[in-house]
Amino acid sequence: MNFPMQLPVFSFFYWLVNTPGLGGICIALLSGGAIIVGSLIVRWVQGGGDSGESETYSYPTPALHKEE
Amino acid sequence: MPRWGMVIDLDKCVACQGCSIACRFENNTPAVSPEEALQGRSIRWNDVFPLPIDPAEDKDVYPNVTTRYLTRPCMHCENPPCIKVCPVQATYKDEEGIVRMNYARCIGCRLCTVACPYGVRYFNWYAPEWEGSLSEHLNPDRIEAPGDLEGPAVRPRGVVEKCTFCIHRLQKARLQAEAEQRDFRPDEYVPACVETCPAKARYFGDLDNPDSTVAQLNKSSRAFVELEEAGTHPKVTYLREG
Amino acid sequence: MLKVNPRDKTRLVDPLFAAPGWRFWLAVVFLLAVIGWGASMYLRQLTYGLGETGMDRPVYWGIYMVNFIFLIGVSMAGTLISAALQLTNIEWRRPITRIAETLTVFGLLVASLQLLFDIGRPDRLLNVVQYGRLQSPLLWDANSLTLYILTSILALYLQLLPDIALLRDNCPANAPWWRRALYTRLGLGWKGYRSQWGRLQKAITVISIAIIPIGVSLHTITSWVFSTTVQPGWKSTILGPYFVIGAIFSGIGMLFIVMTLAWRLLKLDEYIQARHYRALGWLFIVMSALWFYFTYTENLTLVAEQEAYEFPVLASKLWGSYSFSFWGMVALMVVAFWIMVVPKLLPALLRRVVVFQPRFALASTGAALVAAFFLISPQPAVTHAALMDLNTNTFGWLMVIGFVACAGLGISFWLKQHPAVSSVAAGACVVAGMWLERWNIVIPTLTHPRLIPYTIYLPSPVEISLSAASLALLALMFLVFFKLFPVISIWEVSEGRVVEDAQSRVEIPLPEPNEPNPLQSWGSRR
């Protein structure tokens, strides 16, 4: 029990892990972030269709991306 | 600010289980049916049990028996494994070192019951029931605030409960001192088990006051704590027999 | 308008729109019945309380927790197969990525259901968000599980997107309106432009990189729920990697079962072939070896120190009340290892040797059964006394094991010729063995606490019903999902076909010979 709990940095860390609600905020941030990033990725992929190309492909091959 | 602790003198203890019964009635712990009890679902905040714990290990034949008894409240550890794992802070250690339990917030995940090496935490497998007129004579004391329910308040089904060092008695003593417009003295409050013990084997008081009985007895060469190797630093100390 | 290869159309697209046969409906009705039974049992548990389970003090956790760990373990397959193999660009992954990813998503969903079964106050579940405390391992688990579920759903969806668009464009005229609407909505106007493909494949790569550490974190954190306590048998540093290895192992086992079922039921001979079993088999063997290594390491330290509270936990597994589950687990793992390894070691020449013929296996099995029956069944008093002698008894059981090993030798060549059957058998052994392993980790520690008498835990009918219903739910999810979406990733397979075709036309030249080292050739005649 010689842990230097009285040091402000450790008290702060303990406050961080011990305060009810912070965990919920963490869950909310993580899942909210995942949902936002996920939907941004989906939108970004979908947005690839606005480039005004004419030919479409049913499947890719490595050669499809050579020129980019 | 006192730091509450208990000392149990095993030399004086006669294993009468008076502490267990006093606790049951003080804290409204329900009795379960015999079948449930056999399945290990009885709730005894203050348990009295023989050592060795495993009956198979007890090979002695009378009169050469070495069986001992241990009375076990919650150890109110300085470093409690139970509060560290609670996901919602339904169990926590307050400034006076008492490990408390909030029935209104507990989600019943039972990680604290699994984490406690002493097995002092109990789960309400069914809603509590009392036989006959017993239900009319429950202890009305309770600690209640919005989102908070503690003490002897009747527990709902599906939550964990445990010994609180009769936290409602502390609250009452504090309120009384306040009503009489004087300072609260640590010797104004003891849990029900300490009050009941006919052999006066239990001592209770402020560990931070070097003159208190518990602080003095803690220095005794007979003093030991249960499962010291678990690193929990219990505030309940035992005095060895003999 | 996306075109689909006619071969894929008849095999993968058309069956999706065909009216489901009576077998499908029978399976759905059966699974729904099991789920309904489980739901009624859950209602019972909800009404009366968790007392309806077999749990008690000190066994505060039962098979709900075992199922939880097991199911998130099974879900690890998707992460490994689709993400890791995609990143390393391994060709044979193509036909099984869809199945693996679906296994991840559904495994995780059913696993989180187990937590709901397990907690005493499901009505207060949101307290975890409102009052969540970061110090609790359960909260780490909640974080990791949510993130893993969301990421794996995204991975599945991105990988599915071109196929949904393909289905949208190839809907037969008589397809019901809601399926058209479903594919149109989910297809997000995917056209298959070059830039779209570029973005999609970049996105898939990013998700694949992200999902591997997330998956590893979930299994490690689940082990930390146990190993951060001070309980005998749990407070171990090796539990984290042990859980990860076990998860991958059981995931591959489950994958073997699901992909073989899909292959047989949907007649996918063209897609799922012997080479997939062979390649996955090597992975399986590696995991198997790692699993034995970890199991040995985990228990060795306990044996060596014989600590007062920890050793009884191990003793209960080695020869006590849990010896059945422990040695059952070991036996299943040994059998799985044998099935995958021994047939690979046998040269074809040995085929004619009598020891390696199925009739020898049959005879050995018969001998083993007779010997075991002789040992178990009631015998006349004299024989019984003789058999109960420790030496005789041990010898008798060794004989049974010897016969079983002979049967294993005899069946090896047959297994070599039937890779799918042997893979499924090994997979089933491992799935059952890993469930037992989770049981062996969770339950014996709980039944051997320090200040409470030792007990024995048996799951109650409610717990068993809910576990069965969970499995049924998993199966039903697969059944419905693969009735709506293709079980093989059409675009990945099409790409693979072209790539392999191109590769087969390339002639790989001989290696270039090196110039001889002048020092080495000094003095020798040119």
CA distance C129 to chain A (A): 4
Is the Cβ of C160 closer than 8 Å to some Cβ of chain A? no
Does residue A68 have a pLDDT over 60? no
If contacts are CB pairs under 8 Å, which of residues 4-33 in chain B contact chain C? Answer: none
Beta carbons of B88 and A18 less than 8 Å apart: no
Bridge partner residues of B92 (DSSP): B100
pLDDT in tens, chain C (526 residues): 788 888 888 888 888 888 888 999 999 999 999 999 999 999 999 999 999 999 998 999 999 999 999 999 999 887 777 888 888 888 888 889 999 999 999 999 999 999 999 999 999 999 999 999 999 999 999 999 999 999 999 999 999 999 999 999 888 888 888 998 999 999 888 888 888 888 999 999 999 999 999 999 999 999 999 999 999 989 888 999 999 999 999 999 999 999 999 999 888 888 988 889 999 999 999 999 999 999 999 999 889 989 888 999 999 999 989 999 999 999 999 999 999 998 888 888 887 888 888 888 899 999 999 999 988 888 888 888 887 888 888 898 899 999 999 999 888 888 888 888 999 999 999 999 999 999 999 999 999 998 898 888 999 999 999 999 999 999 999 999 999 999 999 999 999 888 888 888 988 888 888 877 777 777 766 5
- d(C-alpha C455, C-alpha C446), whole Å: 9
DSSP C10: I
Compute the count of residue pairs across chains B and C with CB atoms less than 8 Å apart.
141
Does residue B203 have a pLDDT over 90? yes
Q: Residue C235: CB partners within 8 Å, gap ≥ 6? A: C227, C228, C229
Which CA distances in Å does B52 have to B68, B69, C511?
7, 9, 75
The complex's ipTM? 0.92
**Most B CBs within 10 Å, among C47, C115, C119, C121, to test the B interface:** C121
Residue C468's Cβ-count burial label (10 Å; 0-12, 13-18, 19+) is middle
**Terminal-to-terminal C-alpha distance of chain A:** 61
Beta carbons of A21 and C136 less than 8 Å apart: no
- Using a CB-CB cut-off of 8 Å, the residues of chain C touching A30 are 143, 146-147
Beta carbons of A1 and B233 less than 8 Å apart: yes
Say which of C60, C138, C454 has its CB closest to residue B85. Answer: C138
- Using a CB-CB cut-off of 8 Å, the residues of chain A touching C197 are 48, 57, 60, 64-65
- Using a CB-CB cut-off of 8 Å, the residues of chain A touching B79 are 1
Give pLDDT, residue C263: 92
Chains with ≥3 CB–CB distances under 8 Å to A: B, C
Nearest CA-CA partner of C334 in C296, C372, C363: C296
Beta carbons of C195 and A23 less than 8 Å apart: no
Compute the count of residue pairs across chains A and B with CB atoms less than 8 Å apart.
7
Say which of B40, B106, B230 has its CB closest to residue C57. Answer: B40
pLDDT 10s digits, B55-108: 777 777 888 877 888 999 999 999 999 999 999 999 999 999 999 999 999 999
Give the distance between the most distant pair of CA atoms in chain B: 60
Does residue B148 have a pLDDT over 60? yes
Residues recorded for chain B: 242
Chains with ≥3 CB–CB distances under 8 Å to B: A, C
Beta carbons of B126 and C124 less than 8 Å apart: no
> C-alpha B173: how far from its chain's center?
19
Beta carbons of C158 and A45 less than 8 Å apart: yes
Give pLDDT, residue A49: 66
CA distance B43 to chain A (A): 28
Beta carbons of A16 and C195 less than 8 Å apart: no
The position carrying tokens 């968000």 is C129
The position carrying tokens 């997979």 is C427
Bridge partner residues of B47 (DSSP): B72
The position carrying tokens 């993968």 is C12
Beta carbons of C200 and A45 less than 8 Å apart: yes
What residue in B sits closest to A18 (Cα-Cα)? B89
Give alpha helix (H) positions in C419-523. Answer: 419-447, 461-484, 490-505
Is the Cβ of B52 closer than 8 Å to some Cβ of chain C? no
Nearest CA-CA partner of B121 in B155, B170, B168: B155
Say which of C55, C57, C131 has its CB closest to residue B105. Answer: C131
Is the Cβ of A59 closer than 8 Å to some Cβ of chain C? yes
Sign of CA dihedral B71, B77, B82, B87: positive
Report the percentage of chain A scoring pLDDT > 70: 87
Nearest CA-CA partner of C49 in B128, B225, B115: B128
Beta carbons of A23 and B79 less than 8 Å apart: no
What residue in C sits closest to A28 (Cα-Cα)? C129
The Cα angle at residue C108 between residues C105 and C114, in degrees rounded to 5: 150
CA distance C357 to chain A (A): 47
Number of other residues whose CB lies within 10 A of the CB of residue B6:
25
Is the Cβ of B122 closer than 8 Å to some Cβ of chain C? yes
Which residue type, as a one-letter code, is found at position C298?
Answer: E
Q: To 10 degrees, what angle do helices C274-305 and C311-318 make?
A: 130
Beta carbons of C124 and B105 less than 8 Å apart: yes
CA distance A19 to chain B (A): 8
CA distance C162 to chain A (A): 8
What residue in C sits closest to B32 (Cα-Cα)? C51
Is the Cβ of C279 closer than 8 Å to some Cβ of chain A? no
Beta carbons of C120 and B109 less than 8 Å apart: yes
Q: List the domains of chain B with CATH numbers.
A: 4-239 (3.30.70.20)
CA distance C110 to chain B (A): 18
Is the Cβ of B230 closer than 8 Å to some Cβ of chain C? yes
What residue in C sits closest to A48 (Cα-Cα)? C196
Query: Do the bridges between strand B160-161 and strand B68-72 make them parallel or antiparallel, or are there none, so unpaired?
Result: unpaired
Query: Do the bridges between strand B47-51 and strand B223-224 make them parallel or antiparallel, or are there none, so unpaired?
Result: unpaired
Is the Cβ of C129 closer than 8 Å to some Cβ of chain A? yes
DSSP C274-334: HHHHHHHHHHHHHHHHHHHHHHHHHHHHHHHH--TTTHHHHHHHHTSTTHHHHHHHHHHHH
Say which of B78, B89, B233 has its CB closest to residue A20. Answer: B89
DSSP B103-115: TTT-----HHHHH
The position carrying tokens 């044996």 is C303
